[in-house]
Amino acid sequence: MPLRIQLECGCRIEFLDENMGKWCQCKCGNSTYVPYDIWYFFNSDLDLEDVFQVFSSRFPTEKDDFRHDGENAWEWFDGNTTEGDIGFNISRKHTVSRSDPENPVKMGLFLYEGSPAPSELGQWLANNFGKTVTSKSPGHLFDATYFPE
């Protein structure tokens, strides 16, 4: 049986090979980037490697569970936590200043059952990076801004 992502509007999108890595539209027109169902954005002066280190201090990820790669404009980490509760894609352009508001760290997360709630994650990111974090999700139910506490 194909895996499906349940959108906040109630529709489901199947995880088919032809859907992967694309924006997919449900019946009512909401778009979601498959396979990620929530995106967090924040600026950070840290190297992307250090950003990933902070993330994996909370969500342990063994070497075999992710790829660290890049091309001429982008650098990224993608994979799954070792416990398998979160899929992630963490990326940023390495050609643009880290402080440029147009060049935030983009953290796409797929939250499997048992993973923390989107709001808990957003607040954790804000606190641990000491930055304002915004989130966007399909259906916009989890769109929010988090401030460091």
Q: Which residues bind Zn ion (CB under 5 A)?
A: 9, 11, 26, 28, 30
Report the residue number, 11 or 125, with the smaller CB distance to Zn ion: 11
Residue number of the CB closest to Zn ion reads: 11
CB neighbours of residue 25 within 10 Å: 13
Q: Is 25 helix (H, G, I), strand (E, B) or coil?
A: strand
Q: Is 142 helix (H, G, I), strand (E, B) or coil?
A: coil
Report the residue number, 26 or 54, with the smaller CB distance to Zn ion: 26
Report the residue number, 30 or 135, with the smaller CB distance to Zn ion: 30
Query: C-beta of 50: minimal distance to Zn ion in Å?
Result: 37
Helices (H) and strands (E) in the chain, counts: 2, 11
* Cross-strand pairs, 89: 78, 108
Task: Quote the Cα angle for 96-99-103, to 5°.
Answer: 50
Query: C-beta of 143: minimal distance to Zn ion in Å?
Result: 16
Query: C-beta of 36: minimal distance to Zn ion in Å?
Result: 17
Q: Write out the H or E segment, with its range, that includes residue 129.
A: helix 118-129
Query: C-beta of 47: minimal distance to Zn ion in Å?
Result: 38
Report the residue number, 3 or 73, with the smaller CB distance to Zn ion: 3
